[in-house]
């Protein structure tokens, strides 16, 4: 029996909450002088890469689930361009001879693939232009943390160029820990996670 696609969003939210417990705990230890600056930076790097991986997994599971019919949306009418008779063959057909698929950058990977398999690419084409742009920026940060190549560093510097940041906030992890609003203690990381949750809900609703 098919399951609600929203169950994927619920799972993603639980994962973000678990990571938030780790982040909050480490921030408290850092404030108390029990861990060093390099420790807290490594934590932010790790949890950001982790949550991004989980987001990609959510997209993949949603795509394969909707295509196979094992998932359904309660609000968005999903029309497949072709029905795959065997659910177990869905991944093999989509993946072809590849071991894995990239789903990000979203506009370059997910949307063209969705338009191949779903009428109007729905629900994957329903993210707003702002959400798609934000995902591009999040990928830039992810690449700067994961690859550390010159091109990844250059793209990150372009992303933060013109922002009012302290010297320690001009690295990928420093930027994630920065608070963009003076009247708030909410970090960029927390804002990004909140926005990713919103995107996941929109896609899985």
Burial of 165 by CB count in 10 Å (0-12 exposed, 13-18 middle, 19+ buried)?
A: middle
Distance in angstroms (rounded) separating the CA atoms of residues 128 and 122: 13
First to last CA, the chain: 18
Q: Taking a C-beta distance cutoff of 8 angstroms, is the pair 131, 111 a contact?
A: no
The residue-averaged pLDDT of 183-194 equals 91
Mean pLDDT, the chain, as a whole number? 93
Q: Taking a C-beta distance cutoff of 8 angstroms, is the pair 69, 85 a contact?
A: no
> What pLDDT score was predicted for residue 37?
92
pLDDT tens sequence across 44-100: 999 999 999 999 999 999 999 999 999 999 888 899 998 777 777 898 899 988 988
What would the two tokens of residue 90 be?
Answer: 């869905």
Q: Taking a C-beta distance cutoff of 8 angstroms, is the pair 94, 61 a contact?
A: no
Distance in angstroms (rounded) separating the CA atoms of residues 8 and 115: 21
> What pLDDT score was predicted for residue 1?
82
Distance in angstroms (rounded) separating the CA atoms of residues 85 and 81: 13
138 vs 205, which has greater pLDDT? Answer: 138
Q: For residue 72, what is the enclosing H or E element?
A: strand 71-72
> What pLDDT score was predicted for residue 185?
85
> What pLDDT score was predicted for residue 86?
76
Q: Which long-range contacts (CB under 8 A, 24 or more apart) does 106-112 make?
A: 106/132, 106/135, 106/136, 106/139, 107/132, 107/135, 107/136, 110/59, 110/63
* 200: helix, strand or coil: helix
> What pLDDT score was predicted for residue 84?
79
> What letter would DSSP give residue 37?
H
> What pLDDT score was predicted for residue 75?
86
């Amino acid at each position: 029996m098919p399951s609600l696609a929203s169950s994927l969003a619920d799972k993603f939210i639980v994962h973000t909450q678990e990571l938030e417990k780790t982040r909050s705990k480490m921030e408290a230890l850092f404030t108390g002088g029990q861990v060093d600056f390099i420790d807290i930076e490594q934590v932010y790097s790790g949890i950001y890469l982790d949550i991004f991986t989980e987001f990609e997994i959510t997209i993949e599971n949603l795509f394969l689930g909707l295509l196979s019919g094992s998932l359904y949306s309660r609000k968005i009418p999903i029309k497949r361009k072709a029905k795959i008779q065997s659910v177990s063959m869905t991944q093999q057909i989509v993946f072809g001879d590849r071991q894995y698929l990239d789903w990000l950058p979203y506009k370059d990977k997910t949307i063209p693939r969705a338009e191949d398999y779903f009428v109007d690419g729905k629900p994957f084409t329903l993210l707003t232009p702002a959400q798609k742009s934000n995902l591009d920026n999040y990928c830039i940060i992810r690449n700067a943390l994961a690859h550390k190549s010159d091109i990844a560093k250059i793209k990150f510097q372009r992303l933060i160029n013109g922002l009012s940041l302290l010297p320690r906030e001009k690295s990928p992890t420093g930027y994630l820990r920065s608070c963009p609003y003076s009247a708030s203690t909410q970090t960029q990381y927390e804002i990004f996670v909140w926005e990713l949750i919103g995107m996941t809900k929109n896609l899985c609703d």
